[in-house]
A and B are shown apart, each in its own frame.
Chain A
Amino acid sequence: MRIQERLSLILLALIFTACAAVLGGAALSLPFQEALRTSIGTVYGRLEFTLLAVLLLAVAVYFLLSAIRVSEPVQSITQIAALGEIRISFKAVESLVTRAAYKVRDIRDIKVRIRQMEHGLVIFLQALAMPDRNIPQVTAELQEVVKEYVENATSSRVAEVRVLIDNIAGDVVKVNR
């Protein structure tokens, strides 16, 4: 369960508990009518409480949307074999790509995204390059290693390996200064 779902459920439980306490208390004729009246009196005519109302409404809309929303299926490469389907999840392919990419020595902090296109898999790589290296050479090697490894391991066609070198690895740069 994700953290926001957990928080929403806790909030929902608190609201329900408050409703239950008020309803139960009223039904059992506990003497808190005066307290209720004064509470409502405090809120009456004060515009800042509309903010709270809007917030609660937003929470309600969030609950409603998350209840209606259909969860996305796990993305995977699907191959049809004689005895049934073979599905390789994108998460598994991402792990493979990350591992294979680290075979290239001059690369750090690799992030991987995968997309399935008509003509094959497109792999997006984002990484840091080591300083004083020829980046086109390194990226070309990276593309080759990743393509070859993924095609070999999954028997799926890799159409493109797009690489973005978004910075130069920092720790060595600092030492040079």
Chain B
Amino acid sequence: MSLQAGDIPTELGNIKIAEEVVAIIAGLAAAEIEGVTGMSGGIAGGIAEMLGRKSFSKGVKVEAGESQVVIDISIIVKYGVRIPDVAWKIQEKCKQAVESMTGLEVKKVNVNVQGVSFDNVKTEAAEE
């Protein structure tokens, strides 16, 4: 995995943006979407979180091309939402956030729904 997601050549030199930066931007954008309860980051992300490191890029994988990036996001959704709607919103928001902040072109945003969370549903049922 290369460290740089993209090279943006300018007159004064190249601007390099690390993949981690793109991942954080995408992760934060995805987490803001209504219906997403968390990111599914596998074992490494889980260990980092247990050690007290809040990782904003958890569950986000960035594959870099020349000036294009492909983002893979793994999420857990809230029970009761329409999953494709949530996924579309994530795709749009991530693309927009990464493109406006980094100037890189986002070719694809692949969304993996890894699980469903029932936390809020339980409290609603208890209130009823």
Contact = CB atoms under 8 A, between A and B. Distances in A.
Interface of A: 76, 79, 81-89, 91-92, 95-96, 99, 152-155
Interface string B66-95: 000011000011011111100110011001
B109 A92 contact: no
Interface residues on B, range: 20 to 34
Contacts of B87: 79, 81, 86
Contact of A92 (B71, B82, B115): B115
Contacts of A89: 112-115
Interface of B: 70-71, 76-77, 79-84, 87-88, 91-92, 95, 106, 108-116, 118, 121
A86 B113 contact: yes
Contact of A87 (B70, B80, B113): B113
Contact of A96 (B91, B92, B106, B116): B116
12 contacts: A76-B113, A83-B95, A86-B91, A86-B110, A87-B111, A91-B114, A92-B113, A96-B79, A99-B79, A152-B82, A153-B82, A155-B82
Contacts of A155: 82-84
Given A81-B88, A153-B82, A91 B110 contact: no
B120 to A, nearest CB: 12
A85 B90 CA distance: 12
Given A95-B115, A99-B118, A99-B121, A87 B79 contact: no
B84 A154 contact: yes
